[in-house]
Amino acid sequence: MASRPIWRGHLRLALVSCPIALHSVVRGSNGLHFHLINPKTGHRVRMVSQDAETDEEVPRSDLVKGYEFEKDRYVLLDDDDFAQVKIESSSTLTIGKFVDLSTIDPIFFDTSYYVAPDGDAGLDVFVVLRDAIHKTRTAALSRVVIAGRERPLAIIPFGKGLVCHTLFEPADLWDATPLFADIEEVKPEADMIALATQLIERQNGTFQAEDTEDRYESKLRAVIDAKLKGEGITQEEPPTSDRGNVIDLMAALKASLDQDKKPRPEREKAGVAKKRTRRKAS
């Protein structure tokens, strides 16, 4: 079952446009969910909206948004106030420019949304824009208003459609310079880099969906199942490392390479394929 659109409008490039809808990439119900419980009664704890001064309970339906312009003084805003500040990106994703995707640092990527045609009208325009972006190997930059905030977007092809990623602003991110300040003084030896490169090449593979499994949640589910059955599970001690231990890096790299000298299954298959090719050629 397809997800419901979280935004509907148009995608526009110059004088060309087509109706689109944004769909959330992430399933909201995925993962374990917990409730706060009163251990004395076993009942759920209800969160109450309460007036900070009078301690009176206020129904959530009566709550409005307020901006604090002075200490404990607020200007109240309702739906009509927010409707007055609608801008073009509230209903139209206008492509401002195209950039090489590799020039966007991954730390700027935030939330992803599928960009899909909204109906049959303009479907040909959507496909032309998708293929043109794919052919030029670029990302289309645009903007959209979601959840009361205008967010910059990077739009790229994805399968038969498009996907957009909201981008953080520089002010949203911490400056990493102080964190890496001392690294410049460290100059690695060429032999160590060569060994590390060999280690990387030996463990090189392809990304698979299974690589993203949440092993912590899997273990937590096992704990829950065991408690439901009235059983216990054997606690495994997580591996620990001595942060103050000085190791021989060269020896450690060599040991890592010697740890598994057997070829990986993928490489074995590739080796067999190469041998067969050579035999046919001969």
Q: Which two tokens stand for residue 264?
A: 């990986």
Q: Which of 111-115, 150-154, 201-205, 257-261 has the lowest mean pLDDT?
A: 257-261
Residue 206 vs residues 158, 203, 213, 257, 266: alpha-carbon distances, Å: 19, 10, 15, 20, 10
pLDDT band at 83 (very low <50, low <70, confident <90, very high): confident
Residues 6+ apart with CB under 8 A from 168: 107, 108, 109, 110
In this prediction, residue 221 has a pLDDT band, given cuts at 50, 70 and 90, of: confident
Query: What does the block give as tokens for 274?
Result: 């190469």
Domains of the chain and CATH, by start: 5-28+85-172 (2.40.290.10), 186-204+247-282 (no CATH)
**pLDDT, position 272:** 46
pLDDT band at 185 (very low <50, low <70, confident <90, very high): confident
Q: Does residue 281 carry a pLDDT above 60? A: no
pLDDT of residue 278: 46
Distance, CA of 281 to CA of 273 (rounded, Å): 12
**40/235 Cα distance (integer angstroms):** 27
pLDDT of 242 above 70 = no
Q: What's the whole-model pTM score?
A: 0.68
**Is a pLDDT exceeding 80 seen at residue 264?**
no
218/155: higher pLDDT: 155
Q: How is residue 141 written in tokens? A: 């930059």
Report whether pLDDT(18) > 50: yes
pLDDT greater than 60 at residue 266: no
Query: Both tokens of residue 60?
Result: 């959530």
When mean pLDDT is compared across 84-88, 92-96, 250-254, the lowest value belongs to 250-254
